Structure 1
């Protein structure tokens, strides 16, 4: 159902929704940027529609709503264990098409990868997704080539218009609320881009032979293994486990899972002191092939959604999209040496 609502009407709706939901969207954190006197666009809780940033890309993805950076799983004492409480409220998340496609990737890993992750599931089933239409693509986006520029898997969509905001609603619950403010007399299609400045080409003959290419050695010295590319990526899902013991009682504490990164030191450490993929180029190879090769072989579609955040965040200006475009020559190299 299509609606057009004013700013005031949208704020009244958000006010009612906040009784049952925490509402997250890209917002501006003043002076919160990586450099002095710069702002940061990232996800945070909002109260009014004016707080949502529609014309800039969020530097960090929405995923910390579903996968908290540090999440307590349970508390323990010497003789008891207590599961951590679930959030009392659900969540409404405003996100773009590429990020909405990444939810499918997160679901695949946490709900259908041979098991169903209880802690993820109890958050996931209480989340409402609002698709933010994209009028234009940002410089580093390559969503069109990854097939993630358009999505219909939303509960509601929102686009700015001359008179306020146009919405398409698929949720019965939200439908009842919206109908109190406007008559559904519009045909609304969320805006989406059909071309991007950045383009990628994944070779049709890409195989694991690419691992023998010399192209990965470039990243041995360029990459500083900070892991930022993993932390901003909406489809990276790795974590590590930490047991925290309280200082006032060393026999009590809590177990947390905390984001981890395949690009940082210690990720591949194993019992006995061994550590795999010590070279940064090997870590880059692992990450790239996970995003555009082995995940697709298992699930039929690429893990990468083309948001371009990894290109934007890298302090060494390493471009993931450029690396993808080097795969074709890398395959030629390894085929010639067979």
Structure 2
């Protein structure tokens, strides 16, 4: 079913939905951006439609709803522990198509990885319903079409934002009752067909080429550019690395909590082992690991598609202006060079 609602009507629907759902969407935070007097757009709970940012790609992805940067896991005393609690409400998230595909990647890592299910992720993910934000134009760092993540059928509601009104497509019958007083419309979500950027992901045909690619000098060119800040991976919609920390309370050192905190493979020391051994001691080594993971290793393991969804947030957030698409192009050129030399 399709509907047309103005913002006043939608806010009334938000009020009704809030009895059962916590609603999350990209939201603007004034003067909290990276530079002086700039804003930042990230996911947070919203109570009215005016808070939802439709005309700008969020600086950080929707994954923060289900895998927050910092998340308490459990609390402990000398002889027992208690798991952290979550809200009983279901979760309604406004997402763009790339973030819907990114959640599928997260689901695979957290819920379908060798038969293991992450309890803390699952208890949130199983409550999620998706409001798809129509995305027909994209932005200058997007390359979702190249990654095949520009379209999706995995949503309950689809919306297009106009001036002070929304066109709504309801796919999940559970939500039709909320729009029973709205005007009917034949709206169907449309999808972007062409980005400003196109990238062809190179195929690595065998282990010999892969081994030579890992040793290629192109990666070490990043030693003078990448500052290993981890901004790209925190902004990435598919990264899932984390670390855990036990916090002891000052009043009683036998009482505390364990927290899970997002980590980054781009930070120096991430791969360090006991005894001082490091697998990836340089920025170039870490860049190689990240790019190959997003554009080869994940697909090689799961046999279907690449991990990257082409949202372009890593490029947008990099303080050194390192472009992920240009890096992939350099990798493609290196593979061609290796294959030529092997003939």
Q: Which range, TM-score by smaller chain? A: over 0.9
Alignment of 1:197-276 (within 5 A): 197-205=196-204, 208-209=210-211, 210-276=213-279
Inter-CA distance 251–148: structure 2 relative to 1 (3 Å threshold): same
Q: Distance in 2 between matches of 1:130 and 1:294?
A: 31
CA drift at 1:162: 5.8
Structure 2 contact 28–51 (Cα < 8 Å) conserved: yes
Change (3 A) 1:163 1:249: closer
Task: Note the alpha carbon deviations across 1:76-98, whole angstroms, 9 max, x for none.
Answer: 11111111112232221111111
Q: Which moved more, 1:250-259 or 1:86-95?
A: 86-95
Dislocated runs of 4+, deviation >6 Å: none
Q: Deviations over 1:274-321 (max 9, x none)?
A: 121011111111100111101111221110000000000000111111
Structure 1 residue 265: Cα displacement:
1.6
Q: Compute the TM-score of the two structures, normalised by the length of structure 2.
A: 0.94
CA contact (8 A) 2:96 2:132 kept: yes
Asked if 1:39 corresponds to 2:43, the answer is no
CA deviations on 1:95-117 (whole Å, 9 max, x unpaired) are 11111110110111011011111
- 1:43 is displaced (CA, Å) by 1.4
* Counterpart Cα distance in 2 of 1:303 and 1:182: 39
Preserved contact between residue 143 and residue 149 of structure 1 (Cα < 8 Å): yes
Runs of 5+ consecutive residues of structure 2 not aligned to the other structure: none
* Shift in CA distance, 206/175, structure 1 to aligned 2, threshold 3 Å: farther
User: Where do 5+ consecutive residues of structure 1 fail to align?
Assistant: none
Q: Give yes or no for the alignment of 1:296 onto 2:295.
A: no
Q: Deviations over 1:105-133 (max 9, x none)?
A: 01110110111111100000111111000
Give the counterpart of 2:312 among 308, 311, 314: 308
5 Å-filtered alignment, 1:104-123, equals 104-114=104-114, 115-123=116-124
Q: For the aligned residues, what is the CA RMSD? A: 1.5
Counterpart CA distance in 2 for 1:163 and 1:286 is 45
> Residues 188-235 of structure 1: CA distance to partner in whole angstroms, max 9, x if unpaired?
221321111111111234552421222101111211000000000010
Q: Whole-Å Cα distance in 1 between the matches of residues 277 and 204 of structure 2?
A: 33
Find the aligned partners of 1:186 and 1:206 in 2 and give their Cα distance: 49
For residues 333 and 264 of structure 2, what CA distance do their matches in structure 1 show? Answer: 28
Which segment is superposed worse, 209-218 or 145-154? 209-218
Contact 2:136/2:193 (8 A) holds in 1 = no
Q: d(CA) in 1 for partners of 2:205 and 2:248?
A: 47
C-alpha deviation, 1:68, in angstroms = 1.2
Give the length in aligned residue pairs.
336
Match of 2:282 in 1: 279
Change (3 A) 1:246 1:280: same
Give the SS at the match of 1:32.
coil
Matched, 1:164 2:165: yes
Q: Structure 1-normalised TM-score?
A: 0.96
